[in-house]
Structure 1
Amino acid sequence: MKGLFLKEFEVRGKRFLVPLLATPFKVRPSSMPVLDNNSSVLFLRHDRIGDMIISTGIFSMLKKKFPDIRIGVIASSRNAMIIEGSPDVDALYVYDKRPMAMAALVRSIRKARYSFVVNLVLYSSLTGGLLAALSAGSWAFRMRMTMGDDLDFFYHRNCRKTIWGNATRTMLEETAAMAGELGVTYTTEEVRPVLRIPQDLLEQARAWRVGLGPGPVIGVNLASGVPEREAPAVLWKGIIELFSAQHPSARFILLTPPHGNVFEQLKILGIPACAQENPPHQGIMGAAALIATMDAVVSADTAIPHICSALNIPVLVLYHCVENSVLWAPFGVRHIKVVSPAPGHNAQDPGRIAGPLASLLVHAT
């Protein structure tokens, strides 16, 4: 039942509620105030793990340029752990769709009286608009990045983004551009993703790596997030076998999501002797700690390449379409893109991946 009320509100009531909400919540477009050291900013980032990771560099950059700025972030239960304990975030709020929890969240945020509310969630959302408006009160400047919809009235500034169908920049660049809208000048290197992995997790991962013995260690991310990005088990098996035949000292670590069906299929096909499942770890940050000890990673188009970006681990990424290879390219790290020749990855040739992966490993070592 969790979230059912707001889900129905979003899907079924939007057509009728938008005209009613436009009057009490409408704000007029206005000139953009400039961010400074006395500002406070609330970012709405209650979506996916990868989206939060690419936003971490923005939080870090703002803190370096404005040491006294106050930054709050509304996160989802899935991506909150990315910024838990981060010195760049002064307040972390976890989004909860239940009406009573939502009301408590808004009350807590309003007490903080942020001067800016910035919605980084690209996809159209009526509840997101309400959350921004209610959190901002009558004093905060509201802005968002959007592909365009009928919810502009919630914000003083709507920054149009042409994403799907005409991507020319990465999502990191598109997201960081919001700081530019606030009058902040920065370089792309300054907004590179930042991951602060707990020291105990790093020590455990380093001890595990020592136990693997000599030879390069390559992470293989079997997770996909969404079905169209998922590579079949037979492709992963072919990649590992082809690569290990040429590089027998290499060890492959299969990064497996909970209840991952690709891993189960791979077990049926027979896991190559040079590969093993990752050891038990503590969520996404535990996986990041393991990745930090690896020589390279090969992954479907998920949050993992952005973790590699933050940790400076070379990565080869399998993309199911050209559009995603532009939009979700990792930043600031050596990486190779392999785009599927047909929708999905069923037509993918293991040789198109094993060869470039060897090149990536050579440069990594």
Structure 2
Amino acid sequence: MIRKLNRIFQDYMREKRLKFGKWLWDRKENREEINSGNFIENNNIKSILFLRYDGKIGDMVINTLMFREIKRRYPYIKIGVVAREGNAQIIKNNSNVDNIYIYKKKRKEIVKLSEKIKKDKYDLLIDFSEMLRVNQMMLINKINARFNMGLNREDWQLFDISYNYPKGNFHITKVYEKVLNKLGILNPDLNYDLQFSEEDKKKVNTLLEKINNEEKFVLNPFAASKHREINKENIKKIIECILLKENRVVFLIGEKSKEKEILEIIEKYSNKVIYPALDNIMETAYLVKKSDWIITPDTSIVHIAAAFKKRLIAIYRVDNSDNNQVNKDLWAPNYENGKQIFSIDLDAKFGEESDINKFDIKEIDKIINN
């Protein structure tokens, strides 16, 4: 009861803070008239700043298509990205990104960051947030780009250009395509663009030297939410399903915090199941690229697999809520070799998080063994 009351109170206070923040920061010092036609060409856009301070790895993977498509048509445009330490790894070697600015939560750090970016003088700022927090409003205001673009910002003074989600069920790439269309870039290539350093490749290549002609499976059972993580029982079922055929090896991946749990699982499988102990997301992405099959409930790994059109089994939940029918399309693999299977948790009440472990192992068996 106390927890429920606290949640109600926090929701109430959040709404008040956001209203106050909007009152404080929703203004723009110098507003320019937008020339019609091709936005980039007719408004002399020479630099674009992307705000990806949400820290989401999967979203940054998708965003790489925009960097490439802009540079492909307008190679002179400077591209900057505001990112967290984690998702900045995705673009650390991206030849289409000129500047990476690391976002930290503390207000003092945000003010310093905004001053630094303001000196670099960006023509266009693009924000992807559904809900702007107060510090993010402040950041956008202080950067003072010539033009600001955001999602559903028609009633904001801080934004010059607003874009909306497409109608009906759609894949997330359609949102990025819509933004590119607004910039004057039509018929873009919607494939993702992951680029690796030699250092990223080194550990994975050394690991794979020990693997002969075996079919390589990457199994990632973990996700950002515990409700989307595959439990030990199902991890073992998937491994045993994979190893029904000979000449296969499984790379069971997870963060360092999961190492003990992973090692306990794999000890009975001899050298057929390997914990690769990779150091960063780009090493993991390169292992995905070099493998034959990917199995995961995590959409970050889904998008990485999609970048290389790998054979993929993506495990999704059918939630007892209105959002799921959108989410299963919005974050789908979206390519022929990317297969979805669904966990149906009949015990979950409406609006509750459902358990991803209610999937049928026979569906995985059918895809990989038949």
Deviation of 1:31 (Å): 6.6
Flag structure 1 segments of 5+ consecutive residues without an equivalent.
1-8, 360-365
Matched, 1:143 2:137: no
- How far residue 143 of structure 1 moved from its aligned partner, in angstroms, is 0.7
Q: 1:35 aligns with which of 40, 51, 67?
A: 40
Is 1:213 the counterpart of 2:218 in the alignment? Answer: no
Q: Per the alignment, in what secondary structure is the counterpart of residue 210 of structure 2?
A: helix
Partner of 1:341: 344
After superposing the two structures, state which structure 1 stretch, 293-302 or 350-359, moved more: 350-359
- Compared with structure 1, are the counterparts of its residues 347 and 46 closer, same or farther at alpha carbon in structure 2 (3 Å cutoff)? same
Are the structure 2 counterparts of residues 133 and 357 from structure 1 closer, same or farther at C-alpha, using a change threshold of 3 Å?
farther
Deviations 1:100-158 (A, max 9, x none): 32122111111121111110233443322322222134xx1111124x7x973321122
Deviation at 1:284, TM superposition (A): 0.3
- Which amino acid letter does the alignment assign opposite residue 51 of structure 2? L
C-alpha distance 275-323 of structure 1, shift in aligned 2 (>3 A): farther
Which residue identity is paired with 1:153? Q
Contact 1:218–1:250 under 8 Å retained in 2: yes
Contact 2:288 2:305 survives alignment (8 Å) = yes
SS across alignment from 2:233: helix
Q: From 303, 310, 314, give the equivalent of 1:313.
A: 310
Shift of 1:30: 6.1
CA offset at residue 40 of structure 1? 1.1
Measure, in 2, the Cα distance between the counterparts of 1:75 and 1:309: 22
Q: Deviations for 1:36-58, whole angstroms, at most 9, x for unmatched residues?
A: 38521111011211111110111
Q: Distance in 2 between matches of 1:21 and 1:182?
A: 25
Report if aligned partners of 2:65, 2:192 keep a CA contact under 8 Å in 1: yes
Q: Distance in 2 between matches of 1:18 and 1:334?
A: 45
Q: Distance in 2 between matches of 1:111 and 1:183?
A: 27
* Alignment-mate amino acid for residue 141 of structure 1: F
What is the TM-score normalised by the length of structure 1?
0.83
Partner Cα separation in structure 2 for residue 185 and residue 52 of structure 1: 21
Of 283, 300, 304 in structure 2, the residue corresponding to residue 303 of structure 1 is 300
Over 3 Å counting, the alpha-carbon distance change for 1:11 and 1:28 in structure 2 is farther
Indicate how the Cα distance of structure 1 residues 327 and 100 shifts in structure 2: closer, same or farther if over 3 A, else same. Answer: same
Structure-2-length-normalised TM-score: 0.82
1:23, CA displacement in angstroms?
Answer: 5.5
Which residue matches 1:19?
23
Give the match's secondary structure for 1:239. Answer: helix
> How many aligned positions are there?
340
Fraction of identical pairs, as percent: 22
SS, match of residue 303 in structure 1: helix
Aligned to 2:329: 326
SS of the residue aligned with 1:86? coil
Closer/same/farther in 2, CA of residues 28 and 271 from structure 1, 3 Å limit: farther
Pairs within 5 Å for 1:107-122: 107-122=115-130
**Contact 1:239 / 1:351 at 8 angstroms: preserved in 2?**
no
Q: Provide the residue aligned with 2:51 in structure 1.
A: 44
Q: Is the 8 A contact 1:74 1:94 kept in 2?
A: yes
- Contact kept in structure 2, 1:217 and 1:294, CA below 8 Å: yes
Q: In the superposition, relative to structure 1, how do residues 26 and 327 fare at CA in structure 2: closer, same or farther (>3 Å)?
A: farther
Partner Cα distance (2:329, 2:118) in 1: 38
**Structure-1 separation of matches of 2:284 and 2:15:** 35
Cα deviations by residue, 1:164-189 (Å, 9 ceiling, x for unpaired): xx8611112212321111121133xx
- Mapped partners of 2:290, 2:309: distance in 1: 11
Deviation at 1:24, TM superposition (A): 6.4
Q: CA deviation at 1:82?
A: 0.9
Deviation at residue 62 of structure 1 after TM alignment? 0.7
Unaligned runs of 5+ in 2: 1-12, 319-324, 346-353
